[in-house]
Amino acid sequence: MRLRELVRWGVKSVGGLAANLALLTLWVDGLGVPPQLAIVPNFVIISAVGYLVTDRWVFRDEASASGVRGHAKRYLSMQSVMLGGKAANYVIYVLLIAASMDYRVAWALGAIVTFLGTFTGNKLLWSSDSPTP
């Protein structure tokens, strides 16, 4: 593991968290969507942007996927890793909301808890896709 990649993952994650919280606020406070459902459109938007940032910046020293098929395969693999993190995050989120915690704080705490697991899973994914020298 390279420290530079971990720092980049952290920057990407904080940016994603900020965007997620801004969108959650829009859905919940602006449009009246229940907080338990408001994370669904966020996942679609944030996951697409997160893939691009991860591929082009976080793990840019690893081999980039090539062609539409290569990117589709890597995107789906990344989403499998991220869904595990999101599932854990969602359980934490729902439990903390049920305990009367603000939905934004609940989401942030869940994201912090799942940070290292999703980094490790994605680092392994990008490394396994790299060609052997």
Number of domains in the chain: 1
**pLDDT tens-digit readout, 38-92:** 888 888 888 889 999 998 899 887 766 677 888 888 888 888 888 888 899 889 9
Q: Which domain holds residue 80?
A: 3-129
Decide if pLDDT at 129 tops 70: no
**pLDDT tens-digit readout, 26-44:** 999 999 999 889 888 888 8
Decide if pLDDT at 133 tops 70: no
3-state SS, one letter per residue, for the chain? CCHHHHHHHHHHHHHHHHHHHHHHHHHHHHCCCCHHHHHHHHHHHHHHHHHHHHHHHHCCCCCCCCHHHHHHHHHHHHHHHHHHHHHHHHHHHHHHHHCCCCHHHHHHHHHHHHHHHHHHHHHHHHHHHCCCC
